[in-house]
């Protein structure tokens, strides 16, 4: 297929690389031209701007930061895509924003698919991402070859915006679990018990989870370098709280986690891993896993 890719960060670069490796013709555009260099060396083509990129592609992928970024790109891509062209957005944005963009595309006989992913940079590099997508069921046959290059778990959740609803639910559960791990680590240390042993014991029990294994392990090792930067989870939770307020849906646990993420950002730790939530708790007491 003739594919376009915009958003060549830690996730986008390996994703675009997998598409090239599968034999697709990939055209890229980036606000930072040098971020495309490694892909150009693999055979990608460079477009001068998003409009030019869309005009030469049957399907365009984006993976950028937030609502405004996606909406701004969509306005340009919509002008370049041919009728029946598809814009697949892998970003995490508000469901309401995804639905609004999809409606504008449908009015012009183009398609917008929200397909947020979970799995982090490791999943992007290994092509094992979980892809949760929203859009017309009739598009599945065209999308499947693309998604199979990038992910291991691929689920159409529903119509436009449904993928973002699923990603919101993913973030609610995951980040709340990271905070729970941090609180368990803080509690164990305050009680004079090695959290490494507590974690080893609980991994085999009903609290065992990927979050406890991965993020709990980072807390034990005090390895706070980012897999996914905490500022992105802060952005996601701010968006979730805004959407929930608009829908009058109470999210008491998420609201408490949001306060901890706010404190993390205030401490200038936004570029660290979200396991840094442990350090937020440690600031309020005498005990530290490093003691």
For the cut 70, the answer to whether the pLDDT of residue 145 exceeds it is yes
Q: Pairing state of beta strands 25-29 and 129-134?
A: unpaired
User: Is the pLDDT at 291 greater than 90, yes or no?
Assistant: no
pLDDT greater at residue 133 or residue 285: 133
Assign 181 a pLDDT band (cuts: 50, 70, 90): very high
Domain of residue 201, CATH code = 1.10.1040.10
Q: How many Å apart are CA 86 and CA 61, to the nearest integer?
A: 9
Query: What pLDDT does residue 62 have?
Result: 97
Chain segment 156-180, per-residue pLDDT in tens: 999 999 999 999 999 999 999 999 9
CB burial of residue 74 (10 Å; 0-12, 13-18, 19+): buried
**pLDDT tens digits, 186-228:** 999 999 999 999 999 999 999 999 999 999 999 999 999 988 8
Same domain, 99 and 170: no
> pTM of this prediction?
0.91
For residue 264, tell me if it sits in a domain.
yes
Whether 30 and 134 share a structural domain? yes
Q: Is residue 152 among the annotated active site residues?
A: no
Task: Say if residue 205 is in the same domain as residue 155.
Answer: no
What pLDDT, on the 0 to 100 scale, is given for residue 273? 96
Please report, for the domain that includes residue 10, its CATH number: 3.40.50.720
Pick the last residue of a domain from 94, 126, 159.
Answer: 159
Establish if 288 belongs to a structural domain: no
Residue 176 and residue 36 share a domain: no
The arithmetic mean of pLDDT across residues 34-38, rounded, is 92
Q: Is residue 236 part of a domain?
A: yes
- Of 111, 127, 159, the position where a domain reaches its end is 159
Q: Provide the domain count of the chain.
A: 2
Look up the domain containing 82 and give its range: 2-159
- Based on the fold, state whether residues 12 and 113 are members of the same structural domain: yes
pLDDT band (50, 70, 90) for residue 109:
very high
Q: Write down the catalytic residue from 2, 136, 152, 167.
A: 167
Q: Inform me whether the pLDDT recorded for 155 exceeds 70.
A: yes
287 domain residue, yes or no: no
Whether the per-residue pLDDT at 95 is higher than 80: the answer is: yes
- The answer to the question of residue 235 being in a domain is yes
Residue 289 lies in a domain: no
pLDDT tens track for 255-282? 999 999 999 999 999 999 999 999 999 9
pLDDT-derived band at 83 (thresholds 50, 70, 90) equals very high
Average pLDDT of the chain is 95
Residues 193, 143 share a domain: no
Domain presence at residue 246: yes
Amino acid 286: pLDDT: 55
What distance in Å separates the CA atoms of residue 247 and residue 262, rounded to the nearest whole number?
Answer: 22
User: Of the candidates 137, 159, 181, which is a domain's last residue?
Assistant: 159
Q: Indicate whether 214 and 94 sit together in one domain.
A: no
Do 116 and 215 lie in one domain? The reply is no
Whether 198 and 236 map to the same domain: the answer is yes
Give the orientation angle of helix 162-190 with respect to helix 195-203, to 10 degrees.
130
Q: How many CA atoms lie within 13 A of 13 on its CB side?
A: 15
Retrieve residue 149's tokens.
């290059």
* Contact status, residue 140 vs residue 111, Cβ threshold 8 Å: no
Same domain flag for 145 and 171: no
- Does residue 59 sit in the same domain as residue 91? yes
Same domain for 69 and 197: no
């Amino acid at each position: 297929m003739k594919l376009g890719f915009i958003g060549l960060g830690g996730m986008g670069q390996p994703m675009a690389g997998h598409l090239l490796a599968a034999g697709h013709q990939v055209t890229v555009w980036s606000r930072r031209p040098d971020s495309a260099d490694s892909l150009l060396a693999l055979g990608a083509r460079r477009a001068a701007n998003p409009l030019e990129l869309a005009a030469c592609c049957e399907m365009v992928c984006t993976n950028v930061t937030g609502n405004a970024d996606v909406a701004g790109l969509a306005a340009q891509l919509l002008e370049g895509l041919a009728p029946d062209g598809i814009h697949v957005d892998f970003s995490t944005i508000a469901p309401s924003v995804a639905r609004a963009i999809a409606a504008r595309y449908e009015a012009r006989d183009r398609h917008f698919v929200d397909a947020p992913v979970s799995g982090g940079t490791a999943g992007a590099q290994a092509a094992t991402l979980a892809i949760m997508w929203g859009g017309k069921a009739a598009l599945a046959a065209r999308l499947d070859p693309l998604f199979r290059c990038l992910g291991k778990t691929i689920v159409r959740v529903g119509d436009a915006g449904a993928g973002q609803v699923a990603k919101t639910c993913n973030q609610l559960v995951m980040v709340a679990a990271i905070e729970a791990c941090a609180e368990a680590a803080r509690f164990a240390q305050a009680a004079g018990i090695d959290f490494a042993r507590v974690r080893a014991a609980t991994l085999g029990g009903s609290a065992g989870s990927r979050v406890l294994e991965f993020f709990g392990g980072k807390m034990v090792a005090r390895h706070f370098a980012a897999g996914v930067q905490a500022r992105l989870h802060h952005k996601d939770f701010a968006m979730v709280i805004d959407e929930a307020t608009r829908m009058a849906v109470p999210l008491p646990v998420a609201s408490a986690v949001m306060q901890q993420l706010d404190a993390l950002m205030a401490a200038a730790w936004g570029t660290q891993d979200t396991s840094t939530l442990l350090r937020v708790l440690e600031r309020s007491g005498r005990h530290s896993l490093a003691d």
